[in-house]
Each structure stands twice: as C-alpha cells, then as structure tokens.
Chain A
Amino acid sequence: MSTGALTGDDWLLHACREGDKAAFVTLVRRHHPALVALARCWPGDAHEAQHEVRGAWMTLLSAAPAAGQAGAPAAVPAGATSVRARVAREVTRAATRRTNVLLQAPDEPIVDPDRFFPRVNELWPDEWADPPRPWGPIAARRLSRADMPRLLVRRTRELGVARAAALTLRDIHAWSVLECAAALDLPEPQLRSLLGAAREGLRAALEAEIDNR
C-alpha cells in the first residue's frame, strides 16, 4: 500500500494501523495531554477522562481510513480533519454520552448588557457605561502569582463544559478554529460564539479578581 502524500500525524496513524508501536507513542506524546484536558471539561474525575481518551484512540485506530489517507475507499467524502481533531471528536462523543451534557453556543450577549448605555441613549448609545479599567502593574503582578494557574483552571471550569472545551483547545493548546470545531462537533460560527463568550467569561472573572469588583 502506498502512503502517497501522507505527512506528519496522518503518516503516523497509518503506521499505527500497521502495528508500529513507536508511531503510536509519538502520536500519544504529541496530543494526549490536550485530549485529556478536553475530557476533563466534562464532569468526572481524572480516571474517567483518561479512560475516555484511551477509548477514543482505540476507536480511531480501528476506524476505516479517512479521505486522503492511504487505504481510504474512494467513496469517503473529502474534508477529513486532522488526526488529533478526530480523536478529540471521539472524546467529545464519549463524554457527551456519559454525562448527557450537550455542547451549545450561547445565545446571550457576550458582555453584561448593563455595562453599556442603552441603544436609545441620546449622548452615548451603545457605548461603555461601566468601562473596563486598565490593568496596570498590580494586575501584572497578580497574574504572575503562583496560585494564578489554579485559579484560571477553576474559573475556566466554572464557565461550563462548552466554553471550557473551546478555551482548552483553542487558547490553551492552540488548535486551529477548524480543528476545535471538528473536535467539538460544532459549526465554525458556533465555535467562535462559544470562544467569544468563554474569553469574556474568563476576562470578567479576572477583572473581578483584579479590580475587586
């Protein structure tokens, strides 16, 4: 079987399916931490998260090759996503089945509407009524405190599963929006809505921490 134009992770996945243990270890070292971080966004403990991600890897390895991969049947539609996004989608589906928590984009405004003047205000329609205050050196010191990572993790989880998952993949692990959307089984515009709401939720939490709001 020719591996053709396979590169990077797709090549490694092909090698895994041929039984190459080293290829599997390489894939795991590259992507397992992000996948576990994703699984931890749903309720449950670390053991459940590891179990789900392990199952997702095994599901992908036993699945038929996606379009563009060596051994893929011609009928498989084009547009297959990255290897890590496909494993992540299996994690999303398993966690959703286990918890019945569905991922949905928010339909409320991103920023608290009370922080703006009303649209009908004669002088400042839709402008900030309660603008953010600049974060100066004190904020920088607070953000570099040793306990800040733990606080960020806690605040991220408090945003809810969908927002936490979007932040985890896009902003913590720097996956592309396309991969994040595929991983969470959401259309790209919904993923961006989630991301906007999540970033604002976390910014507001930090603002409360820094400004003592």
Chain B
Amino acid sequence: MTCRELVALLTAYLEDVLPRAEREGVEAHLQACPDCTVYVEQVRTTIGALTHLREENVPQPVLDELVEAFVAGSRDDA
C-alpha cells in the first residue's frame, strides 16, 4: 500500500468499514510509515477539536416559540 492509497482509505478505516484485508494493509503501512502516522494523528486531532464545538442548549425564547408552534399544530389537528 502506498501513502496516497492510505490517505484515500483513511475515512473508511476510521469509520471501521474497511474489509479485513484492507484494514490490515492500512495498519501494516502505519507500522512502517512515520509520515502517514503523523497524518492520521493530525486527522484524529482535527476530529477531536471539533467535538468542543457542540452546542447543547436551546435558548428559552427559541423553546417557547417551538412549543407555541407545537400547541397551535396540536389544536389544528384536534
């Protein structure tokens, strides 16, 4: 496997959907290739950084508007 091929397979590898033979090929390449190891680490770091962007809260005015629309919709259905 070449470095270019590894890069092309990386998403499938990270998503764990590669067939076994290809997965083993990726892992064997990573054992032997420091450049690709750095590349994969950087992609993992990038993914990790994104998890900090997750917004969990619904502002109360937004929630109020949604509930109002829900109640109006329920009334129309009744």
Q: Which residues of A contact B (CB under 8 A)?
A: 16, 19, 21, 24-25, 28-29, 32-33, 36-37, 50, 54, 57-58, 61-62, 109-111, 116, 119, 125-128, 131-135, 139, 143, 148-149, 152-153, 156, 167, 171-174, 177, 192-193, 195-196, 199-200, 202-203, 206-207
Chain A residues whose C-beta falls within 8 Å of the C-beta of B39 in the assembled complex? 128, 131-132
Asked if A33 contacts B58 (CB within 8 A), the reply is yes
Return A119 CB to nearest CB of chain B, in Å: 8
If the complex has contacts A54-B69, A206-B49, are A32 and B62 also in contact, measured as CB distance less than 8 A?
A: yes
Asked if A153 contacts B53 (CB within 8 A), the reply is yes
Q: Could you tell me the distance between the alpha carbons of A131 and B35 in the complex, rounded to whole angstroms?
A: 6
Give the nearest-CB partner of A173 in chain B.
Answer: B54
Q: Which secondary structure dominates chain A's binding surface?
A: helix
Choose among A28, A110, A119 the residue that contacts B63 (Cβ–Cβ < 8 A): A28
What are 21 pairs between A and B in contact, CB < 8 Å? A21-B67, A21-B70, A21-B74, A24-B66, A24-B67, A36-B55, A37-B55, A54-B69, A58-B70, A62-B73, A110-B7, A126-B2, A127-B3, A127-B35, A134-B41, A149-B53, A152-B50, A153-B53, A177-B17, A199-B11, A199-B47
* B20 lies within 8 A of chain A by Cβ: no
Asked if A24 contacts B41 (CB within 8 A), the reply is no
Return B77 CB to nearest CB of chain A, in Å: 7
Q: Which residues of B contact A (CB under 8 A)?
A: 2-5, 7-8, 10-12, 15, 17, 35-36, 38-39, 41-43, 45-47, 49-58, 62-63, 65-67, 69-71, 73-74, 77-78
Chain A residues whose C-beta falls within 8 Å of the C-beta of B45 in the assembled complex? 135, 139, 143, 203, 206
If the complex has contacts A21-B71, A206-B46, are A152 and B53 also in contact, measured as CB distance less than 8 A?
A: yes
Q: Could you tell me the distance between the alpha carbons of A156 and B52 in the complex, rounded to whole angstroms?
A: 13
If the complex has contacts A116-B3, A126-B3, A207-B42, are A174 and B49 also in contact, measured as CB distance less than 8 A?
A: no
Give the nearest-CB partner of A33 in chain B.
Answer: B55
Chain A residues whose C-beta falls within 8 Å of the C-beta of B73 in the assembled complex? 58, 61-62
If the complex has contacts A62-B77, A172-B51, are A111 and B2 also in contact, measured as CB distance less than 8 A?
A: no
> What 10 additional pairs, Cβ within 8 angstroms, besides A128-B35, A192-B12, A196-B11?
A19-B77, A25-B63, A29-B58, A54-B69, A58-B69, A127-B4, A134-B41, A135-B38, A177-B15, A196-B10
